[in-house]
Amino acid sequence: MLVAMILAAISLFRAVDTATMVAGNLTYKQRTVHAGDEGTRAAYVWLQDKAANAPADLNSSNTGVGYYSSQHANDPAWDPVTSWPTSGTVSVGPDVGGNTATYIIHRLCTQPGLAYNEGTNQCASYTGSNNTSVGGSLASDAPAFIGITYIYFRVTTKVVGPRNSTSYMQTLMLVPVT
């Protein structure tokens, strides 16, 4: 009887210990996701600023700020895990948890240095249709967006945690062409 109680106590201790480890790992993973969100947000702010104030700058790569005006040469098989550049990225800096986020932005076009509709350049784009009803919607097919061409940009964010763990996040963004 005593042996059975000891074995039950040990298994209960192990179950609680395992549950604590799982909860800790989930919390740690959540922190890396938040750091990745901050990196993606920084890229979004940079991209929106360029689109509003200097849209012609988006036609040329600027690796000093982590921007590439064309997709990676190996797209769609580009793997950030094996092909993450050693330079040409932007570091957002460590958060309170010690996670450091870096990002790169790729304009999803075939040719660098050209406008989205110039020469042989082909870009992933979206143009709102006019098959919508009038209203105050913010949907992509709302009347306010009809006839505007948007170009797709891919933001890849890499987060390195304090225990040397690495996570990647990718986000597609639509930016209006003026």
- Residue extents of the structural domains in the chain: 2-176
Instruction: Compute the distance between CA of residue 102 and CA of residue 63 in angstroms, rounded to an integer.
Output: 13
Please report, for the chain, how many H helices and E strands are present, in that order: 2, 6
> How do beta strands 149-160 and 166-176 pair?
antiparallel
Question: Taking the chain (178 residues) in consecutive chunks of 10 residues, what is each chunk's mean pLDDT?
Answer: 66 58 62 85 92 91 89 71 73 82 91 88 80 55 68 91 84 86
Instruction: Compute the distance between CA of residue 122 and CA of residue 114 in angstroms, rounded to an integer.
Output: 10
What's the pLDDT at 59?
A: 92
What's the pLDDT at 76?
A: 67
What's the pLDDT at 32?
A: 80
Q: Which of 106, 122, 103 is closest to 70 using CA atoms?
A: 106
What's the pLDDT at 35?
A: 86
Rounded to whole angstroms, the maximal C-alpha distance in the chain is 84
Give this prediction's pTM. Answer: 0.74
